[in-house]
Amino acid sequence: MKQVVEKRKDVAFYLKMFPLRSIHPQSYNKSKAIYCEKKKSNSKAIALLEDAYAKKQLPDPTCETDVIDKNIALGQKLGITGTPTLIFQDGRKTSGAMGYDKLVELIDRMKK
């Protein structure tokens, strides 16, 4: 996604933290920590997100929020069971990691 955003100004991604605690037990607190940081500084939140992807230790959350719980509930309502999951404007979904070329091809196909 990062490469797509850098190269394609016509594409935007909106990320919702959807921790899979059964697979990644610490993902819930990491998600909260990233969300809490976003309220203060978007660039610091992005740095924490990058650290999470790199499997680095993150600080404890600095705020109380139910946003992550609401994201989990929404994901369950939409039938999301894995990450990453992309939901397109027309409601179509696709799950699983994919490379730049495949992602751009999919985006362009959805635009038609």
SS3 53: helix
pLDDT class of 101 with cuts at 50, 70, 90: very high
Between 110 and 62, residue with greater pLDDT: 62
Question: Would the pLDDT of 77 be above 80?
Answer: yes
SS3 25: coil
Question: What value does the CA radius of gyration of the chain take, rounded to a whole number of Å?
Answer: 15
The predicted model scores a pTM of: 0.83
Instruction: Answer yes or no: are the C-beta atoms of 70 and 16 closer than 8 Å.
Output: no
Question: Would the pLDDT of 112 be above 80?
Answer: no
The full set of domain ranges for the chain reads 23-77, 79-112
Question: Would the pLDDT of 78 be above 80?
Answer: yes
